[in-house]
Structures are given as structure tokens and as C-alpha cells.
Structure 1
Amino acid sequence: MDFQLSDDQRALRSGMRDLLGAVFDRDRMRAAVERGGGVDRGLWRELGAAGLFALRLPEEAGGVGLGLPEAVLLFEEAGRALLPGPLVATHLAAGQVKGAAEGEAVVAVAEGAGRPVADLGDADAVLVAGGAEVLTGEALEAFAAGAVPVRSMDPLTPLHRVEGRWAGAGASEGRSAGAGASEAYPGALRREGALLTAAEQLGSATRTTDMAVQHAGAREQFGSLIGSFQAVKHLCADMLARTEPARSALYAAALTGDPVEIAAAKLLADQAAVRNARDCLQIHGGMGFTWEADVHLHLKRAWLRAARWLTAAEAEEILAADLGPVRPLYSGSAAGG
């Protein structure tokens, strides 16, 4: 069985990387940092025109007609570029929210459980946990009215805390359940959100590995490139050793859609993104801790993503439940052994 990417998939990934290099290079990324993040509507429409949000919609509905494996490749590139905004939620809502598929609408997600809502200030709609209701219009205004801005560890991701505001909102104009909504969020929607977030984490882990290797090959200390030092070599090797198993798990989960495999992929991708960013910062030394370096941005975004859609504790519970009850290695009395 061949699990290598097809030529079309490679071309799709390459095209996304080229697009992001043109519309969201480092200068634009740093400009976004300075203005405190938020959604650039022009960039959002560029992404919509490129098919990021409509990628999995059927062609007869105006979409591209591709699947989760292709979506994972594109979101991996988005994570590599530190692209801001609620990309995953807008992609998942492309078939429910008018304008989302084309990048004309921005969709945020309220996961509940006390988790803050990202990019609420820019949202035209909000997916709400517990039934996948979509809040728009007056319902969205009522939802956002009680939102309190909270300090975000990631300067590219504004956060708001909204406690229990949707619980008593009731059905109203602008609040509707999409197709299969009663099943979607706790099931397929949540799993797909976790999978695509894991893809972003993988992209970030890959990028910080590249940054570390590039710096180790250029920075000199004590008359030698730091990449020649054994400790630095080990750090770089460890980064690669985390990234590639996470990649394999992610691509496999994208093919099967299995909840247990998605949980494993999210867990491995979160670990790779966070730990690789920390090792990359270590390799950069004192410079890595400065605001001017980009390493800390990857670390902060990785921390934030690790707490979204499926946390490590939740993923571990899914994996543990799949193992079944723990059985003793031996039966009978010890004396009989």
C-alpha cells in the first residue's frame, strides 16, 4: 500500500506555500503582531479565493471537492506561516455560514468548558459547542455583549471570555442548527477541528526545526559553527524525531478519520509543536528570548493551540478508553505460581 503524497497533493501543498509567501510574508506577519493580531479581511478573501475554506465542499455546491488529507496539507502550511485568525472554524462552517466558503465571512468557535473564544471581535458568526448552533445577527450581538477581553499569550490571537452566555439564549432568528448539528460538534466537527489544529501544530513544529537547523548552520561561537557541537546536534535530532512520527500519525488519521487516531495525532502534534519551539529557542540562545525573534511566536501559538478542540488530557482519555479494561497479568493465587 502506497502512502506517499500524490503529485496533485504535492502541487496543492506547494501552491499554498507559494501563496502564503506572497500574501503573508514575515514583514506582514510582524506587522500583524504590532497591531495586536486580528483578521485581515483582504487576506481572508485571498484565502477564500484560493479554496482554503471551500476545499471539502462538493463541486456542485461551489467547492473544490477534496477531502481531509488535502485539507491537512493546507493547514500544515498555514501553521508553518503562523497565519492568524479562526481558520479551522471558518473552514468547518463553510457549508453553514453564508460567505464563509468565499472568505467573505469570519467564523469563530465557542468551545465551552470555560475556554476563551478566539477572534470574537472579527467574527461574523460563532459556532457554539453542545449542538453546533451557529450564532449570527442579533444572537451574535447578544452573545458578544457579555464578552470580556482577556490577555492572550499569543499576540496574534485576541481572546474573549464568555461564561455561559449561550446557555439561555434560546432559538431565535440568526441562531440555527446546521445539517446534522445535534451530532456534529460533539462528534465529527470536534474531531475534524482537532485534526486540522494538529495539522497547524505540525506545520509549526516543522518550521521551528528548520529555523533551528538554519541558525545552527550559521551562528559561530568559540570559532566554530554551533551546529558542530554535540549538544546542539542532539537538540536538532530530537526535534526531527518528534516531527516525523507526528506527521505519520496525522496523515494516517486524515485518511481514516478514526477518533482514536485523531486523538493520537493531536497529542503527538501538540508535543512536537511545543517542545520543538522550546528547543529552537534554546538553540537561538539569548537572541531567541527577544521580541524581535520569531521563535517565541511559534511557542506561544503552540501553547494556545494545545488547549483548543482536544487537550492532552482529553486525548489521553480517548486513548486510554480504547485500550479497554486493564487485566491482571496472572490469575489465581500467588501460592499456586
Structure 2
Amino acid sequence: GTPLLSPGGTVVPAAPLPHPRLSKLHDEIFAFAQASILSGEAAHAEVMTILASLRGVVGARWHQASVELYGSRSTGLSLASSDVDVTLLGMPINGGRESIGAALKDLHSDLEKTSWVASQQLVLSARIPVLKVKSTTGVPVDITISDTAQHTGLLARDLVLGYLHEAPQLTPLVIVLKSFLREMGLNDPFTGGMSSYSLVVLLWMFICESVHRGYATTDLGYQLIGFFSMFLYRFESQLTHVDDPLSPMISGPGEVRENIMHSCYQIGRVCRTFHRALQVLSPEQPAWDDEETPLLPRLFTEVAGSSRATQTDPHQSSPLDTGS
């Protein structure tokens, strides 16, 4: 607070202003994220062991190559079920796809000799050829080869780490929303759900807009409610294009920017889910201030539970399921 002058003329420090009371939902979101991070520590230790083994195997065959971790395992935003995404840099692959495929086959052969690998699958027909490995404890590892340091996964990793540095409140919000979307079956872009990257970018945009408008961004509960509202306002109006913040780095001048929501063809179902979540968690609900009634679990029991009971074919389109 501002120092005050006493009647005798000496400076008396003002009593600090009391911190505004944070919502009950804020505490529940923080506790949920903390528990999720703690439960993932054992998996994190195994991921580090897998990475060390991979670096040894790759380095033995290709001395100039390096193994880079990206995706949610590299940013602290992973769930227990998250994949491990790695790419190999500095590989001798001058022949394009053919030499990438040959290198992945060599790596497949080398990994067969390691004790932690339970199964492997080469997917050379994918847009980006990948070696999919599963550890003996069930940890999935996707290995790709990059012919340039401008690998979009690495660029996205560094972008997200920058966001987290600027807005640490992103971490608990992302973990709660990723867990919720996973429960709903809406967290996989390959089946029309939202990618983790899209979720982080949209949350970052929301926090930036909140700061710009002068709103407080410290209460995770109100941030979650505000994000649901922003999402519905934006996407229920049929607008499903969101520029990829990485586009200026990977696109040429004048090119149309990549849309981070292009694969989210279940956007209609995401909107309906967030609408129901907003109803359940609304500050106008009696449970908002009732210390005896937890709020966050209702997101998983009432919203996700009822959706699973009534879920239709995930490929069925709705009026809101637009492409781009």
C-alpha cells in the first residue's frame, strides 16, 4: 500500500491490502492439476530413461544426429496417457522420403535389441513417416525424422514454453481441459477432436484478451468460465478458422495462414459440451459458494458422464461441424 504520514511526520507503512478471495473452483482446478502432475512423475522418469536409450541407439549409428523431445511431454502439459513425441535432427537423408523410410527401418532394427521396446510399427505412408514404438510398460513413443531445424513440432514446443513463461496459469487450465476433453473423447484431432496445441493457443489468446480489457486473470475458476464463454461466442457463430501463430515462420509471404482448427470436425459437439459445462459450473449455481459441494468433479460426472450415455457416432456431422 501507499506509505502514510503519522501526526508526528514519520512515515508509517500502510497495511497491505487484503488479497481478493479466490473462488472455490480456483482451488479445485489448482489441486486437480497438481495431483495430475504428481501422478505423472513416475511416467516422466520412464520417459527420460527412454530418451537416454534412444539417444544412445541413434548416436551409435548416426554420430551427428540428435534426438529432440517435443509435444506435451516437453512442456509439462502431458497427461499420464500422453504420447512421447521425438524427432531426429541432423540425419543423413538427402534422398527425401525414401531415405527417411530407410533410416526408420534401420532404427526399427536397432531398437529390437533394446529391453524396453515391446512392439514397433512403421507407418511409412503417413504424411510424415513415423516409427510408432510401445514400451514394455505401455508408454507410446512416436519417432519422426526432420530434414530441417524448422520442424513444426519443435517450433510449437518453443512457442508454448514462451506462453507458459508469460502466463503460468495456463498450465492448470490446460491440464483440466485436456483431461475433460479426453473424458469426452474429444482430445484427438485424428477423430475430429481438439489438439492440445489448439487448446493452448486459444487459452493464450483468451488470457491476452482478458489482460487487454483490464480483467483479472489470477482466478482460475473465473478464467475457466470465461474461456467457455469466449469459445462458444466464437465458434457457435460458424467461425472455425484460427490462424496458427507459427504461420509466419513456416509460410511464405502472401500465403494463407494455417488453420489450427482445420481437423476439428466435431466442433459442434465441443460447443455443446462447453455449453453444458458452463451451465454446471456457473457462478450463479448455489454450489459455487457452498464449501461442502465440490464443483470441478461435476464437470466429469454430470457433463462427461451424461455425454457418454447419449453419445452418437463421432463422425456424424452437425450444422456446426464445418471444415475451415
Q: TM-score, normalised by structure 2?
A: 0.28
Structure number with greater CO (CA < 8 Å, separation at least 6) is 2
Q: TM-score, normalised by structure 1?
A: 0.27
Choose between structure 1 and 2: higher helix proportion. 1
Which structure has the larger Rg?
A: 2
